[in-house]
Amino acid sequence: MSAILLENDLLHYEVLGRGKPVFFLHGWFGSWRYWIPAMQAVSLDYRAYAFDLWGFGDSAKNQKYSLAEQAQMIFDFMDKMGIFRAALIGHGLGALVAFEVAKHWPELVDRIMAIACPTRESQLEENALEKGDQISQKLVKDGLETNENLLADAKKNDLAAALITFSHETFIESAQSFEIPVTESLFVYGRQDPFVKCPKAEDFENLTDRQHLLVFEQSGHFPFLEESSKFNRLLGEFLTLTPGTELRDLQLKEEWKRRIR
C-alpha cells in the first residue's frame, strides 16, 4: 500500500511499472482495485497510478468531495511527486474529475480516456443513488460480485462522496458547464450500461479530430472488466498515439467493437 499526505489528509494510491505516467481514476462506488487488469496491461511501458479518490477506499474521508476538490487532489499529488504531465483514464466520476483537471490545468494533461462519462443529465438513470444497497448489485456483473476485495473496498466508501457529485443539482451544473478540452479525448461507453446511457450520435456531433467516441456493444458499466482484452488493446493503442494525431486514425481491430454511428 502506498500513501501520501496532502495537507494532512491521507491519499491512498497504488503504482505499477515504469515509464510515462498514466493515472487511473475510479467511478462512483469504486476504488483503485478494479483498475488492476488495465494497470498490468500497460505496466511494461508506462508507470500506472491508481488512486482512491477522497472519500473512497483507504483515502481520507475529509468531505473534500466536489469535482473541484478531487481535481485539486490530483494537482497536489502531481506537484508533490514532481510529475509534470500525465495521461488520465477516468471512469464515471473519475472521468468528470479528469476533465475538471484539464479545465484548470491543461498543461498537466497529456490525454484523456473517459469511460462511462455522463456529459448530459439525460444520460443518467433516474434516482440511481437512491437505491441504496441495490446499486452495487446492479453495477457489478459477470463475476465481479465474487471479488471479495472489490466489495470490501466499496464498503469503506463514504456515501457522501458519491452523493455530492451525483446529486441532481450538482450534476446539472456540471453538465451545463461541461466542455471537451483541447487535448486528445477518447470517450468509451458500454451499450448495455444500466446507469450511464450510451449517448446518441448527435450528442457528440461536434467532435474534432482530437476527440473520438467508441462503444463496446457487449459491455455494461465496466467495459475495462467485461471486455478487458478488447479494452486493453484499445488503451495501449490510445496511449501510444503521437500527440496531435487524429483519434479517428485509431485502427479498430476486429476484437474491438465498431464506432457509434
- φ/ψ (deg, to 5) at 142: 50, 50
Angle at 122 between CA 191 and CA 178, to 5 degrees: 100
Domains of the chain: 2-249 (3.40.50.1820)
For residue range 55-71, what is the model confidence (pLDDT) as tens digits?
998 999 988 889 999 99
CA 156 vs CA 53, 54, 58, 61, 249: distances in Å: 12, 12, 7, 10, 41
In the three-class reduction of DSSP (H, G, I as helix; E, B as strand; rest coil), residue 148 is classed as helix
Is there a contact between 224 and 38 (Cβ–Cβ < 8 Å)? Answer: yes
Query: Where does 116-174 show beta strands of DSSP type E?
Result: none
pLDDT tens, the chain, 261 aa long = 799 999 999 999 999 999 999 999 999 878 899 999 999 999 999 999 999 999 998 999 988 889 999 999 999 999 999 999 999 999 999 999 999 999 999 999 999 999 998 877 656 666 555 543 454 554 444 445 445 556 566 667 777 777 766 654 555 555 555 666 768 899 999 998 888 888 877 777 777 778 888 999 888 889 999 899 999 999 999 999 887 777 877 754 655 444 444
Q: What is the pTM of this model?
A: 0.87
Count other Cβ atoms within 10 Å, centred on residue 234. 25
Q: Strands 2-6 and 9-16: what pairing?
A: antiparallel
